Structure 1
Amino acid sequence: MPLDTSHLQAAIVDLDGTMVDTLGDFMVALTHMLDDLGLPHAERAFVERTIGKGSEHLLRSTLQHAAGEPPSQAMFEHAWQRYQQHYLAINGQHADVFPGVAEGLELLRAAGLRLACLTNKPLSFAQPLLAAKGLAGHFAFVFGGDSFERKKPDPLPLLKTCQALGTAPARTLMLGDSANDAQAARAAGCPVVLVTYGYNHGEPVQAVDADSFLDRLDQLALPRR
């Protein structure tokens, strides 16, 4: 049954795996970082199922995968510094906007919805990426994984974003690609729609508790106002 969107006032949109395919950026930055530390490279499939829970989680998991043991705090801090440097140097160069995203954002705005981007990616990575891909102008607010005390799947970032938008959670749609987005939305009281082409930690997204699924962002049925 299609989601009733007639009551919506705003939408919160995830970034990696929902709007932009950033797997290529992750692979390049991680490969350079692992080279700096003299560690073996991570496989693409491992990175794809590990992204989505924030860069710190990705980095710790990748270091453990490459070294065969959890990284020390000193190793993590050195790796984090190198990773940030490499990621910011190539941010967006190996990433592409998914088909239908720009059109979908236009439809959301044409329906009178205020938009916020909420990602677990650090804000210093997210803002330049949105700008580089021509998406920044759609959003009234952009929040990263370091904007609040906790990250998705905790509901706090969604509740704080709703406060910034000035809308009730029940009238604020969460658009994402993973269980992280859905769990946060359910706990916050937001309706949630997931795209089918994202990452979702290597698991089938259709198994996630969501209100609807989209093959393209511009397939969301919205009333024009």
Structure 2
Amino acid sequence: MSIMFSDIQAVIIDLDGTMLDTAPDFLIAINRMRAEFGLTALDIDTIKKFVGKGSENLIQRVLAVDFAAEQIALHFDAAMAAYQRHYLAINGDYSELYPDVIAGLQAMRALGLRMACVTNKPVAFTLPLLEKKGLSAYFEVVYGGDSFERKKPDPIALLQVCADFDLAPAKVLAIGDSSNDAQAARAAQCPVLLVPYGYNHGETIQNVESDGIVSTLLEAVKLITH
């Protein structure tokens, strides 16, 4: 990549598929929920395609594998409650940090960049997960999918981070793994980099419009000039 980013003062980083491979956690929690409903287990590749647009969308799609629309509505509340119970019980136990995440965060801190985590995962899942994986201390601000009335790809959370940091969006670099992240950043007028190893709803990240694709968070830091 030849593009360099000057005058970046802060970064907004996604969680699932960007810093952590949480698909194994989703796999366990979803299939334990499905077992309560007498449904067969789903494979991890199917679940990865459902991740990224918040818990409500996730459970809707999981139920849609077996149920018609009216049946989804009938079972949704119980399914969501069961999923949340199972997820909280194992949150972080099966997930892994992607390569160079900690090194990338340390390099960002060394540059004096302010850091926020913005994810569509509910805050009640996000905060303990960041703590368990040793990520909490890097982030001044954390917003989840239920922090505002709308989730990514809506820009509301990114714009709030810019306001929190008192920075113009052009000075705040967003890093994520999906079209949700890219579209939210574009709408907020933040520059955006994407990683290729995440979920992106089962679609290739190369087809998503962004300012570039980086192999790791550490590579992203190397593109920031001061």
Q: TM-score range by the shorter chain?
A: over 0.9
> What is the correspondence of 1:10-159 to structure 2 with a 5 Å cutoff?
10-69=10-69, 71-159=71-159
Letter of the structure 1 residue corresponding to residue 108 of structure 2: L
Alpha-carbon shift at residue 60 of structure 1 (Å): 0.6
Question: Aligned partners of 2:203 and 2:89: how far apart in 1?
Answer: 31
Question: Aligned partners of 1:199 and 1:214: how far apart in 2?
Answer: 15
Alpha-carbon shift at residue 162 of structure 1 (Å): 1.4
Provide the alpha-carbon RMSD of the alignment: 1.5
Question: Aligned partners of 1:28 and 1:7: how far apart in 2?
Answer: 42
Question: Aligned partners of 2:139 and 2:60: how far apart in 1?
Answer: 31
Cα gap change, 1:178 to 1:70, in 2 (>3 Å) = farther
Q: 1:169: which partner in 2?
A: 169
Question: Aligned partners of 1:45 and 1:10: how far apart in 2?
Answer: 33
Letter of the structure 1 residue corresponding to residue 61 of structure 2: S
Letter of the structure 2 residue corresponding to residue 85 of structure 1: R
Q: 2:195: which partner in 1?
A: 195
Q: 1:218: which partner in 2?
A: 218
Question: Aligned partners of 1:223 and 1:142: how far apart in 2?
Answer: 22
**Partner SS, residue 66 of structure 1:** coil
Structure 1 unaligned segments of length 5 or more: list them.
Answer: none
Question: Aligned partners of 1:39 and 1:82: how far apart in 2?
Answer: 13
Letter of the structure 2 residue corresponding to residue 183 of structure 1: Q
**Partner SS, residue 66 of structure 2:** helix
Cα gap change, 1:181 to 1:56, in 2 (>3 Å) = same
Q: Decide whether the 8 Å contact of 1:60 with 1:71 is kept in 2.
A: no
Question: Aligned partners of 1:218 and 1:71: how far apart in 2?
Answer: 46
User: Between the two proteins, what is the percent identity of the paired residues?
Assistant: 48
**Partner SS, residue 209 of structure 2:** coil
TM-score with structure 1 length normalisation? 0.95
Deviations 1:111-164 (A, max 9, x none): 111000000000000110010000110000110000011000011111112112
Letter of the structure 2 residue corresponding to residue 135 of structure 1: L
Alpha-carbon shift at residue 206 of structure 1 (Å): 1.2
Q: Decide whether the 8 Å contact of 1:185 with 1:191 is kept in 2.
A: yes
Structure 2 unaligned segments of length 5 or more: list them.
Answer: none
